[in-house]
Amino acid sequence: MNIQSILDFLENIAPSAYQESYDNAGLVVGDAKSALSNVLITLDITEEVIEEAISRNCNLIIAHHPILFKAIKSLKGNNYVERVLLKAIKNDIALYAAHTNLDNVWGGVNFKIAEILALQNPQILVPKKQILSKLTTFCPASYQETILEALWKAGAGNIGNYEQCSFVVEGIGTYRPNEKAQPFIGEHHKLERAQELRLEVIFPTFLQNKILMALRETHPYEEIAYYLHNLENTHQEVGAGLLAELPQAMPERDFLAYLKEKMQLSHIKHTKLLNKPIQKIAICGGSGFFLLKNAIQAKADIFITADIKYHEFFDAENKIILADIGHYESEIFTKDLLFEVLSKKFPNIAFLITNTNTNPVYYF
């Protein structure tokens, strides 16, 4: 098996197209065509992690945080980023990151936190807009199933808990072939009226090329009539943050103790307690302050995230408890998430969770 097989699977569950504009998820270093040995899973890529990969015979490191966020003009080992890249290149170790794309998908980072806290009824807090498209095309009735099957296989027709979704309408198409045409039905220079079906399917916009290729490979017409629409619809399974519920409400202090235990925290920074039970919970692993207003609007009792600045705590305005559990601490279980999904898909590959603690923050 080569490295690309692993990357293809990761791109399927957390497409790079769903990363935020500032992000740099994906393969940063390495040849995806190389044969795979072992895989090391980490939150961050540091020099110690590279050394661990070498000692454990891993030629692929899968991280949550990309090692490269900014462009570099030289590679001389002047800082830890350059030293990591040089050491990875010298030792033929590929570096891949699944970052905000893994944050934004159903079953991703925030869902892992919800799982650890035994929360129920999860839903994306802020679903993304303008990432869905609709294909409309026309075909003979005898080709309906062939075309739809190809489009579904290419990734079209999935809406929430439903798959193979489509809409079909009967109609009459007209066309007149010229002498160069090779019509599926009809004669040169003669107006043809053909019974046709109008097919419509929805698909993630980033799959457009794949969808159109499937259409062209299965459609019988020399010239395929189709058009595409970018949709304003929100994608309910892709977006920022998570909203979920405890099976039963808990007193505030009891919940904070529960949160501390389950997330293995040394401390929690939080706003003033509001003397009301906690049941509805908003979550955003990593730096999630930008979602505070959404958490309040969703009537969450507490918003769990990280990297809250001093003055930002005031913005809770006694409408919600704002809890900062630390960036590393909020995302540490992402390693387990990646290990679980990869081991299940590739049971014969050695996936190893790093023994290196990459948290750069210490407490006295």
pLDDT > 90? residue 120: yes
CB 229 within 8 A of CB 167: no
Positions of E strands within 130-180: 132-139, 167-175
Measure CA of the first residue to CA of the last residue in the chain; give whole Å. 46
User: In this structure, which amino acid lies at residue 5?
Assistant: S
How much is the average pLDDT of 55-83?
93
What's the confidence (pLDDT) of residue 148?
Answer: 98
Give residue-wise pLDDT tens across range 3-53: 999 999 999 999 999 999 999 999 999 999 999 999 999 999 999 999 999
User: 153-162, 176-185, 228-237 — which is least confidently predicted?
Assistant: 176-185
Beta bridge partners of 41: 62, 353
CA neighbor of 300 nearest in space, from 326, 325, 274: 274
Structure tokens, 203: 């698909």
pLDDT at 134 over 90: yes
% of the chain surpassing 90 pLDDT: 91
CA 272 to each of CA 10, 38, 86, 316, 317: distance values in angstroms, whole numbers, following the listed order: 40, 47, 47, 9, 9
pLDDT digits (tens, 9 = 90+) for 246-261: 999 999 999 999 999 9
Q: What is the pLDDT of residue 186?
A: 85
pLDDT one-digit tens code per residue, 183-229 = 888 889 899 898 999 999 999 999 999 999 999 999 999 999 999 99
Kindly give, in sequence order, each residue whose CB lies less than 8 Å from that of residue 305, ignoring residues fewer than 6 positions away: 283, 284, 285, 286, 287, 288, 289, 291, 322, 323, 324, 325, 330
* pLDDT at residue 276 tops 90: yes
Token pair of 18 as six digits: 């769903």
Q: What is d(CA 318, CA 215) in angstroms, rounded to the nearest whole number?
A: 54
Q: Report the C-alpha gap between 43 and 20 in whole angstroms.
A: 18
Strand order in the sheet with 167-175: 167-175, 192-204, 132-139, 226-231
DSSP code of 118? T
pLDDT, mean over the chain? 96
Helix axes 80-90, 47-55, angle to 10 degrees: 20
Which of 44-48, 186-190, 281-285, 325-329 has the weakest average pLDDT? 186-190
Q: What is the pLDDT of residue 364?
A: 86
199: helix, strand or coil: strand
Cβ atoms 185, 192 nearer than 8 A: yes
| 109 pLDDT more than 90 | yes
- pLDDT level of residue 335 (50, 70, 90 thresholds): very high
Contact 186, 175 (CB under 8 A): yes
Judged against a pLDDT cut of 90, whether residue 289 lies above it is answered with yes
